[in-house]
Amino acid sequence: MTVLPERILLPTRHLPPALAEVLSRLHPGDRIRITQQVRVGKRLWTTTVEGHFRDISYLETGITTERVREDDIVVPVVRFVKDNGELSSISLDENTRIERLAPPS
């Protein structure tokens, strides 16, 4: 059984309250739609994916040299299953939108 964190934390930024609210109400198996904006240079793309929510975890990144712990970056990650069965995950940022979709009737 997956245990969801009580609070979703970002070390340097805060998630928008609306996103944090949606995440706090998700349960494993809920159908979701995730929309993100991807920026490369001056170009901007919007991408959307749907699937079934698995859980929320944290991705801890750091530099491979010895550094102080405060230099590490911790990113909240939503893990989900795409419609084709592929296990996937997306790192959350301030531009991520997640919608809980109604189950198919």
Q: What is the pLDDT of residue 11?
A: 56
Mean pLDDT, to the nearest integer, of 18-45? 92
Q: What is the pLDDT of residue 1?
A: 47
Q: Which residues is 50 bridged to in the sheet?
A: 33
Q: What letter does residue 23 receive in the DSSP assignment?
A: H
Q: pLDDT, tens digit, for every residue of 47-105? A: 999 999 999 988 776 665 566 655 567 778 999 999 999 999 999 888 899 999 987 66
Q: What is the pLDDT of residue 19?
A: 87
Residue 11 and residue 2: Cα distance in Å, rounded? Answer: 23
Q: What is the pTM of this model?
A: 0.76
Q: What is the pLDDT of residue 60?
A: 73
Q: What are phi and psi of 15, to 5 degrees?
A: -70, 145
Q: What letter does residue 27 receive in the DSSP assignment?
A: -
Q: What is the pLDDT of residue 17?
A: 84
Q: What letter does residue 11 receive in the DSSP assignment?
A: S
Q: What is the pLDDT of residue 18?
A: 87
* Residue of 47 and 2 predicted with greater confidence: 47
User: For residue 97, which of 38, 8, 36, 20 has the smallest C-alpha distance?
Assistant: 36
Domains of the chain, residue spans: 29-100
